[in-house]
Structure 1
Amino acid sequence: MERHYGMDWLRVGAFALLILYHIGMVFVPWDFHVKTAHPIDWVAIPMMAANSWRLMLLFVISGYASRALLSKGAHLGSFIASRSRRLLIPLLFGVIFVVPVQPWIELAVKYHYPHDFGWFWLHDYFRFHRLHGIALPTWQHLWFVGYLWCYTLALTVLIASLGWLRAQRGFDWLFGARLGGVLIVIVPIVWLLGVDTLLPGARETHDPLHDGVAHLHYFPGFLFGFALARSEPAMAAIGRWWKPAGVVALLAYGVVAAIEWRWPGNTMPAHPWGVTFATARVVQGWCAVIALAGFADRFWNYDTPWRRTLTEAVFPFYIVHQTIIVLVEYWLLPLHAPPLLEFAVLLPATVAGCWAFYLVGREIGWLRPLIGLRRHTREIPA
């Protein structure tokens, strides 16, 4: 199959938005590892614009990429071995060396942890226990990488049990005969609403053994992307319906934003606005995924010299970005700076730190696999 550059650009944009979203977590009233001294309620309104679809989109794109890798002729054994190297090695490196500063800062800020980082890393981080409710060691934001590997393994087992040809025919039948029209928008929304009805009030835990609501959301999204990669009827349906889906996503976001404005923060909306909020959020989320996929297919399916560099830089950026955000905000807290000034420092500092992490890491052969890059070196356009 031909490379879909639109999906590459969509992946780059989604991760860039994720970095901006995590910077926003410093200022919104929701819980985070370190917070500004003056959280702002209205920041939740723009955050809600991406909250419902940012992760689903990433899992859909990851499924699409998995199908592209298998379509190159790789055997299942080499496929899962390659994906394990690309995912588990950076995950282990991140858990041991990149992530630990985040729980240390959270413990210091929220619970007045008395020891420095060196003591924490050597004596407390690897004790496999809970300290003030925080499980140690932890993968923090890298849960996405762990879940992606689990879903890749589950997909491999599924294909091995059915046989590659039978699995392909099954996906092609489902997306051709059943999801080749407007149902590509409707059926996933019905599924997601059904999950929320089956598990009312369930929240994501990022504990793979006790996170049913996340698995019922994201694993089907991963499979959707996998099937979409070779389904001409499904891509044609997205091409027909992405504009109406985008309009519906904006209308649903208007409902979500209005309810958040009326009942900010952790305030519970009055009945029936809580159910309305949850329903609108699901509709907004999936319609946004369809709209963005259609937009990328229509306008972004082209290559540029920067595309390869940015596509490669995405994973190193993801590994390190949240640690930089938490660390920089921890340094800013004693200054008691206004939130706008904190944001003006956090954003460029995070981007600069991510670029430095990538640019240095890509030049060191043994470090490349640890930050999610292929082992061999190659010339990369400036």
Structure 2
Amino acid sequence: MTQLQSFPPLHHTHLHPVQRQRLVELDWLRVLVLGLLILYHTGMLYAEGWGWHYKSTYSSKMLTNVMLWSNQWRMSLLFLISGAAISFLLASQPWGQFIRKRVPLLLLPLLFGMLVIVVPQVYVEANSKGLINSPNYWHFWYIYLDQTSAEFAPHKTLGKMHLTWNHLWFLPYILAYTLIIWAAYPLINSPKCAPVWRWISGRLTTRMVILIPIVLFYVIGWWLYEKYPTTHNFVQDWYNHARSFLCFVLGFVLVRIPFIWSKFASLRWYLLPAALATYTYALFAFNGGSLGDNIIAKEINGLIWSANGWLWILTIIAWAQYWFTFSNPLLKYLNSGVYCFYILHQTLIIAIAYFVVPKKLGAAVEPILIISLVAIGCVVLFEVIKRLPVVPVLFGIQKQKLTSTDN
């Protein structure tokens, strides 16, 4: 994500002026939430009842309940943070320059990731599940790239192709949403839309910011959840698109309304118990509890689930504003590498687990070892990659300004 630093006066803009003070809490949240992916995706090895690319011989129902907590808001918060970053970037860069920089930053790591980075994940999954018997990894990579290979004939993912993006699905979604906002920006930044922004700024309250998104998430779930469950198939993933794009737009808008954004910290003690209450209900429902089978009970259930995700997003932002009011060298370093860590982490988890799991080291030693090796691997590979010619751009690392990447 770009550094949310001071910008020159925005005399040209008709939108509400973007905050000129660096929002360091977003830098912290981006690092912490993407760092959580290492723990979450390692947890997927052990989460009882949840399928994944590869599973350990150990499993835990309690872990699944814990992971349910972040499952409800983690990616939505990342989309919100990305929308906020795009809001700053569009305000600080010429319209054409923005898209010339942005598309390669997202598209090149995605293409390279699909052709190279995720292949070990596909190999481990195919062999461990008996989908494709190809003990030679290099041969497997060849038939994965060969879109006419007979071995992959039953496993097409898009028409006649069998490429996959696995955990990198976030990149094409962010790219699509960025293109939409970029294309609409000259209009929404025009004098015609200025009254709309003045109306929003004049009437929007923190209560509305809490309640309106909950209603929108509820409507999205009511309308799309059963018809289009989350699959990460870009052209059919309408429920996921609707939720993710809404979060993206909320991030874009909220950082342009400073008097609302700055109030979250003062609400932290109100938001936290509300979020805990909805999560308590989510655990109750997830483990078989029910309010009943009538239509009113079902709608209340949907409304509470919708509230759970948004309340946790607001709670986390509120406490981040309270706690993370500073920057330091560690944050700057992690911000420079977090995009690279995101691209690498799941492949490292699955590849390391593939060798570690059969050794049955124990339910505690095994995940600790995997997490440690993945963290070390991310840092070491980042240090190597950023010193190479050409290669850094394939991992989202910008050589000229390492702290300005964002996904």
- TM-score exceeds 0.5: yes
TM-score when scaled to structure 2?
A: 0.85
Q: 2 CA distance for matches of 1:168 and 1:369?
A: 38
- C-alpha contact 1:104 1:120 (8 A) present in aligned 2: yes
1:43-122 residue pairs with structure 2 within 5 A? 43-72=63-92, 74-115=93-134, 116-122=136-142
2:15 corresponds to which residue?
none
- C-alpha contact 1:36 1:339 (8 A) present in aligned 2: no
Farther-moved stretch of structure 1 (219-228 vs 240-249): 240-249
TM-align CA RMSD:
2.5
- Corresponding residue pairs, total: 374
Give the superposition deviation at 1:260.
Answer: 2.9
Give the superposition deviation at 1:167.
Answer: 5.2
Extract unaligned runs of 5+ from structure 1.
none
1:312 corresponds to which residue?
336
Q: 1 CA distance for matches of 2:380 and 2:198?
A: 43
Change (3 A) 1:288 1:167: farther
Q: Residue 55 of structure 2 is aligned with which of 32, 35, 57?
A: 35
Change (3 A) 1:204 1:302: same
1:1-12 residue pairs with structure 2 within 5 A? 1-12=20-31
- C-alpha contact 1:180 1:233 (8 A) present in aligned 2: no
Q: Secondary structure at the match of 1:368?
A: helix
1:109-148 residue pairs with structure 2 within 5 A? 109-115=128-134, 116-127=136-147, 132-133=154-155, 135=157, 136-148=162-174
Q: Secondary structure at the match of 2:125?
A: helix
- C-alpha contact 2:360 2:366 (8 A) present in aligned 1: no
Farther-moved stretch of structure 1 (92-101 vs 177-186): 177-186
Q: 2 CA distance for matches of 1:334 and 1:375?
A: 40
Change (3 A) 1:148 1:169: farther
1:190 corresponds to which residue?
215
Task: Letter of the 1:333 partner, please give it.
Answer: V
- C-alpha contact 2:215 2:303 (8 A) present in aligned 1: no
Extract unaligned runs of 5+ from structure 2.
1-19
Q: Secondary structure at the match of 1:254?
A: helix
- C-alpha contact 2:336 2:402 (8 A) present in aligned 1: no
Q: 2 CA distance for matches of 1:274 and 1:333?
A: 41
Give the superposition deviation at 1:349.
Answer: 1.0
- C-alpha contact 1:328 1:346 (8 A) present in aligned 2: yes
Give the superposition deviation at 1:152.
Answer: 0.3
Give the superposition deviation at 1:205.
Answer: 1.4
2:374 corresponds to which residue?
350
- State the Cα deviation string for residues 149-183 of structure 1 (Å, max 9, x = none): 11000101111344455556645643x24432211
Q: 1 CA distance for matches of 2:259 and 2:325?
A: 18
Change (3 A) 1:78 1:370: same
- C-alpha contact 1:24 1:47 (8 A) present in aligned 2: yes
Give the superposition deviation at 1:276.
Answer: 5.7
Q: 2 CA distance for matches of 1:169 and 1:96?
A: 47
Change (3 A) 1:216 1:362: same
Give the superposition deviation at 1:357.
Answer: 1.6
Q: 2 CA distance for matches of 1:245 and 1:18?
A: 24
- State the Cα deviation string for residues 71-109 of structure 1 (Å, max 9, x = none): 22x121111111112111111121111111111111101
TM-score when scaled to structure 1?
A: 0.90
2:13 corresponds to which residue?
none
Q: Secondary structure at the match of 1:339?
A: coil
Q: Residue 327 of structure 1 is aligned with which of 343, 351, 363?
A: 351
Change (3 A) 1:83 1:32: same
- State the Cα deviation string for residues 359-378 of structure 1 (Å, max 9, x = none): 11122232221111113277
Change (3 A) 1:134 1:171: farther
Q: 1 CA distance for matches of 2:366 and 2:318?
A: 36
1:208 corresponds to which residue?
234
2:396 corresponds to which residue?
372
Give the superposition deviation at 1:210.
Answer: 0.7
1:181 corresponds to which residue?
206
Task: Letter of the 2:123 partner, please give it.
Answer: W
Q: 2 CA distance for matches of 1:213 and 1:10?
A: 25
Change (3 A) 1:64 1:357: same
